[in-house]
Amino acid sequence: MQRLFLALWPVDNIRDKIAEMSRALSLPGRPIAAVNLHVTLVFLGAVDEARRRCVEQAASAVPSRAFELTFSEVQWRARTRIAWAVAEAPEELLQLVASLNETLRQCGHVPDPRPFRPHITLARDVVQAERCYAIAPIHWSAQAFCLVASPPGVDGSEYSVQRCWPLVD
């Protein structure tokens, strides 16, 4: 079994900008390592080999369009103790997530009932912070989405990108 999720994975210069912005905020808590920064699209959980093949086939067939995301705010919530950078969701992204959730049902996936909000988790276990930080906007031109494995149980370990699918311009 592998713990998998689908995500937008930043190219290096975007990753560097996000990591630099996050460092500059000096958020307390456990910062997410720069190599792990991402936007989760669909969390799949523990997946066996057969289901993984199903997921890859479904992801290959899903219609998708390229889009741009702009992160212009960092929010912190006392309830979750998470600080994350948030962006407005463009229509193409909402469509992509909806299509993935729908097509992945054939692989036994149960969609998360919570509304999708594009975000990059920057730090966890943040006990106290500002509710909202304005940041210089970070533009992320999304050209692909990826299947990513998260090694079980080891908090702080590196995620590993398994495979990516291009978004059509």
Q: Rounded to whole angstroms, what are the CA distances from 36 to 45, 48, 148, 151, 163?
A: 17, 23, 10, 12, 15
| DSSP bridge partners of 149 | 4, 160
CB 64 within 8 A of CB 46: no
Q: Kindly state the smallest distance separating residue 17's Cβ from ligand 3AM, in Å.
A: 18
CA distance 95 to 126: 32
Residue (135 or 149) nearer to ligand 3AM, CB: 149
CA distance 7 to 35: 13
- Provide DSSP, 68-135: EEEEEEEEEETTTTEEEEEEPPPHHHHHHHHHHHHHGGGGT----SSPP--EEEEEES--S--SEEEE
Residue (112 or 158) nearer to ligand 3AM, CB: 112
Residue (5 or 9) nearer to ligand 3AM, CB: 5
Residue (162 or 168) nearer to ligand 3AM, CB: 162
Q: Kindly state the smallest distance separating residue 114's Cβ from ligand 3AM, in Å.
A: 9
Q: Kindly state the smallest distance separating residue 121's Cβ from ligand 3AM, in Å.
A: 3
Residues in contact with ligand 3AM by CB under 6 A are 5, 40, 43, 112, 121, 150
Residue (23 or 168) nearer to ligand 3AM, CB: 23
Residue 24, amino acid = A
Q: Kindly state the smallest distance separating residue 153's Cβ from ligand 3AM, in Å.
A: 12
